[in-house]
Structures are given as structure tokens and as C-alpha cells.
Amino acid sequence: MPSVEPVTEAPRTDQRRAALLVLFLTVAIDLLGFGIVIPFLPLYVQRMHVGAFGIGLVLSIYSMMQLLFAPVLGRISDHVGRRPIIMLGLLGSAVSYTIYGFASSFPLLLFSRAVHGACAATVSTAQAYVADTTDESNRAHGMGMIGAAFGLGFVLGPALGGLLGHASLRTPVFFAAGLTFANLIFAAVRLPESHPPDPRARLDFARLADPIMGLPRQLLRHHLNELFTIAFLATFAIAAFEATFAIMVFARFGYGPSGVGGLLAYAGLLQALVQGYLLGKVVKRIGELTLIRGGLIALAIGLAPMASVSSPAILFVLLAMVAIGYGFASPSVASLISKRTERRLQGEVLGINQSALSLARIFGPIAAGFAYQNFGPSAAYIGAALVALGALAMTRKAPRES
């Protein structure tokens, strides 16, 4: 196992906090725009007379493109710097929203989602930026801030989209485009470079395609493959939950769109609180690996009975366990991966991890939907809990903190 290069000079606290704040806002506003349009996607596609397979394809192509582009963009950022890649992602997202708003055919809509997925693959570059600007003692907290930005984006995005969607289904999309473009300008002014470019770097097609061609080998034979597997399984479980939650609570509790949005906002706020505030305090006491195990246990306990309970109060408790469990486990895995990686390879390796998460978000909803439709709601949630327990079992082989 290669050794981790030591941090030669800890960044000044004020500089690190400023960089994390700018990055947090960059990711949060980008994900806010993402959350605005997602609730309307099925309705948007139905107006084009596309069947269930088409809806699934539109939802999955985003993660498919993330899977392909995350390691490529991560490798490029290791050579040219993080800032250009992050800004390119913001520009591409703004363009994709604009295409989405003008789309009048299914192929054009599918293309816009593919472009957005490729641009959203810069999340691994944002994580590498955090790795560049934090020492190991603050690494998990920095990764948690990125997770909290995701949580806030998903909480506020659907609510804002609901308000704007009364006028037209296109209005939230164009608002997201304008918001993302404004965020691009903000990043151009306030986001400094964290990783000096390498003028000797050679970026030909073969080098850029290598992460994609070698992804199966990287995921399965990399010295961090156990951690990649844990990340995949945990995200598979949460993606299964996300794909079926709305129809499950409608069937059992009669919650409509506003009720479902309120429940997800509650879960998202809890996850943001965990990742943005509690994680940094708890991880210094017990370490990433213990926190991953505790989070996976909470995730499994929250998921297993969720489709069987009849009390709204119990549902709120189970939702809290799911949000807190995944909120602790996911950024802790990313932090541990970062700590076991040489500094010059942070972008590439975190890109591989992001590809594992994208893979989980492709297959998790498919598996959950199949189980839900053929064996009932409880089967989908018990299955997701078993997947989380499988991730827990993998922690026995995971490399420990150095």
C-alpha cells in the first residue's frame, strides 16, 4: 500500500475557512438548481408522450455521464488545476439547463440531461479542492461541508421549484440556468486555485480515456477497492430509498407532493446538520472507520421497517436514522479514501469514488423499483437495509486511518 505524502505546511485557518465557504456556496447553488428541476422531470417527459422506460432513461443518464466523466475530469484537474474544471462544470450546467428549457423533443431533453451529468462530475474535483486546502485532522469536516451543500440544495431546490412551477414547467429550468450562471461569475471572482497546474503535463486522448477504460480494474483491483465498495453499497441503499419513498408514503399514509416534499426537507436538513456541523466534531473523537460503521447500522435500522410502519411519528424517527446514518457514513468514506491517497492523485482517486457512487445511483433505483413492483414495498426496503449491512461487513477489510 503506498504511503500518504505528509502535509508539508498546514494552510492558515482563515484561508482554509474562506476557501471552504466559497466552495460550499458553489456546490450548494449548483445543487439548488439541480433540485429545482428534478421534481418536474416526470411531468415534463410525460408531455412528450414518453413511456416509463423513457422516464427511467432520462433519470439514469445523468448518473451514467457522471460515472464516465468523474475520473476523467479528476485526472485533468490534477494537471491543470481545480479552478478551471469547477468553472467549466458550472458553465456546462448553465448551458444544459438552457437546452432543457427549450427542449421540444425527447432526444434533445435526453441530451440536456447527459450534458448536465457530465458537468456535475466535477463534484470529485470539488472534493479534491477540499483535500488540497485541509490537513488530515480537518479532512472529514471539509468533506462533510460538501455533503451539507448537497443536502441544502436538495432541500431548498424542490421547494423553490414548486413555487416557480405554477407559472410554467419551463420557468424553474430557466431560473436554474440564471442561478448557475450567476454562481459561475461568483466563483470566477472569489474561488482561488488550490492546486498549481503542471506545465509538463501531457493530456492526449489515450491519457484522458485511460480512467474510463481502466475503471473496472480501478474499482475492483485498486488498493482502496474495499472503500469504493462500501461507498457503492451505502449509496445503492440510499438511492433505492429515494426512488421509492414518494410512492410508498402516498400508499401508506396518503401524503401528496407537498407532504412528501416536507418529509424529504426534514431528512435533508438533518443530513445537512450532521455533515456540516456534527461530523467534524465527532470524527476527531472516534475516527472515520467507527463513524462509518455506526452510520451504516443506523441506515439499515432506519430502512428495514420503513414500509411496514403505520405511525407517522415512527416514520419521522426512521427518516432521521436514515438521514443521520448516511450523513455520517458517506463523507467519512470519502475522507478515508483521501487520507490513503497520495496528494498528487487526489482528483483522480476521488473521481473513481464518485464513479462508484454514480454506478450505485444507476442500479439502486432499478433494483428497488423491480423489488417494489414484484414483491411489495417491504421487499424494497428490507433489501436496501441488507445492502447497507453488506457495506458494514465490508468495513472489516477496509484500511484504517493512518
Residue located via cell numbers 461541508: 145
Residue from 304, 293, 329, 162 nearest 241 by CA: 304
Name the more confident of 209 and 100. Answer: 100
Is 354 within 8 Å of 197 (Cβ atoms)?
no
pLDDT at 225 over 90: no
pLDDT at 254 over 70: yes
Contacts of 52-56 spanning 24+ positions with Cβ under 8 A: 54/106, 56/365, 56/366, 56/369
* The pLDDT of residue 401: 54
Residue 193 φ then ψ, to 5°: -80, 140
Residue from 390, 376, 240, 384 nearest 308 by CA: 376
Q: Half-sphere exposure of residue 24, counting CA atoms within 13 Å on the CB side?
A: 19
Query: Is residue 66 packed enough to be buried (19+ CB in 10 Å), middle (13-18) or exposed (0-12)?
Result: buried
| Overall average pLDDT of the 309-317 stretch | 94
* The pLDDT of residue 256: 67
pLDDT at 282 over 70: yes
Total residues found in the chain within this entry: 402
pLDDT band for position 140 (50/70/90)? confident
pLDDT at 297 over 80: yes
pLDDT at 201 over 70: no
Name the more confident of 266 and 309. Answer: 309
pLDDT band for position 117 (50/70/90)? confident
pLDDT at 342 over 90: no
Is 77 within 8 Å of 85 (Cβ atoms)?
yes
Element (H, E) at 90: helix 82-102
CA distance 296 to 310: 24
Residue from 233, 235, 262 nearest 249 by CA: 262
pLDDT at 1 over 50: no
Range name among 8-17, 78-87, 117-126 with the lowest pLDDT average: 8-17
| Overall average pLDDT of the 145-168 stretch | 72
Range name among 93-97, 199-203, 286-290 with the lowest pLDDT average: 199-203
% of the chain exceeding 70 in pLDDT? 79
CA distance 384 to 233: 9
| Overall average pLDDT of the 355-360 stretch | 82
* The pLDDT of residue 9: 43
